[in-house]
Amino acid sequence: MPLNKPAALLFDLDGTLMDTAMDFFPTVNQLRREHDLPPLADETIREQVSNGGRALTRLALNMEFDQAGFEGKRDRLLEIYCQHVGHASVLFPDMESVLVSCNQHQIPWGIVTNKPRLYTELLLKRLAKKIPVLSSCGVLICPDDVKNTKPDPEPLFLAADKLKVKATDCWYVGDHIRDIDAGKAAEMTTFAAAFGYLEQDDKIEHWQAHHIIGGSHQLNQLLISSLNSELNPDLN
């Protein structure tokens, strides 16, 4: 049965809307160089990008979160990241087509991420110069904006509220189980991005998302199908 046209399309950021991992490769390895450690493979770093700065610091220096000096090392990682953010990041293939389709059909779209606003806004500002459609983002929700971050549904409820749509009429796309858990808790239609930053032992089929998509082209096909369904209700 065709999907209903979404009232809004919301995305996680890293590993879902954008492939931002390339900005983290030099970031993590510069931190390792500063501690006389050899570089890590790009794919090893990629797996941890969705888990945030603390996980990347742990990966870079093989430190646990509660070790003395950990937060200072994390701060240094983020300092280095500011130098690299947006330099190599790109939209995933066909994601620009998804955003263009949203704009053409008056479907607001937005970003709900656990990435702090400082780095998210810097990323969007730098990339919007190369990818103008990013300037049409209708809502941006970061951890700074809420008391409870994903997997709590609070950020998704806030995004829907700001867009003046019902949460239950929104689609949410993410590449981590916390995204799917948050989306389902908000009663949104959820899409698990199998093309994102999954770890080797992730079992995406166990997340119980409403849909699993292997590429953003599939999301675009589902979006177009939902639009056609609205125009031709007899096809339902």
Q: Which residues are catalytic?
A: 12, 14
> In which element (H, E) is residue 219 found?
helix 216-231
Distance, CA of 217 to CA of 226 (rounded, Å):
14
Give the torsion sign (CA, 223, 224, 228, 231).
positive
Give the torsion sign (CA, 220, 200, 154, 208).
positive
SS3 140: strand
Pairing of strands 18-19, 8-11: unpaired
SS3 168: helix
List the structure tokens of 76.
Answer: 């240094």
Give the torsion sign (CA, 94, 182, 200, 78).
positive
Q: How far is CA 206 from CA 103, 144, 192, 210, in A?
A: 33, 30, 11, 11
List the structure tokens of 66.
Answer: 């509660």
